[in-house]
A = this chain, B = another copy of it.
């Protein structure tokens, strides 16, 4: 068993989280960034890999668009939610993603999604994106991560 153990772990793990952001739902983007910023604050490396509907949110002007529509489904009015989020010190997505970058987080954009959807680099928030890459890059990041999520 111990010998198998030694052979088994063939990729050294970093204290790192790699998160696929597939969904474009506002609440899911919040979750991704709350987890990402939390992990960075606690000393982990973090890569967010934006793909499919998630990548749409990285288009210019899309990040905080309609931010409360989904939240409304929880049964509260827009103003009420806004007030409560302020009171609970929940930042806007724009603030959160800027913090994420400043804390050293990495944002990867899925180039296959870009090609299929006809999205060009200049359509995207290039100030936020660390790299444009394909699934191979994601797998490499995930293989060295101790924590993987699909959101």
Contacts A53-B27, A115-B88 given; indicate if A42 touches B136 (C-beta within 8 A).
Answer: yes
Closest residue on chain B to residue A9 by CB atoms: B13
User: Which of B10, B20, B76, B115 is within 8 Å of A15, CB to CB?
Assistant: B10
Q: Is the CB of B12 within 8 A of A1?
A: yes
User: Which of B90, B147, B148, B150 is within 8 Å of A143, CB to CB?
Assistant: B147
What is the copy number of this chain in the assembly? 3
Closest residue on chain B to residue A140 by CB atoms: B42
Asked if A93 is at the interface (CB within 8 A of a chain B CB), the reply is: no
Contact partners of A71 in chain B: CB under 8 A = 116
Q: For the complex, what is the distance from the CA of A134 to the CA of B71, rounded to whole Å? A: 19
Known: A22-B151, A56-B74. 11 other contacts (CB 8 A): A8-B14, A30-B52, A35-B135, A84-B116, A84-B117, A88-B112, A88-B116, A90-B112, A142-B147, A148-B149, A150-B150
Residues of A within 8 A of B (CB): 1, 4-5, 8-15, 17, 20, 22, 27-28, 30-31, 34-35, 37-39, 41-42, 44, 51-53, 56, 71, 73-74, 76, 81, 84-85, 87-88, 90, 112, 115-118, 135-136, 138-140, 142-151
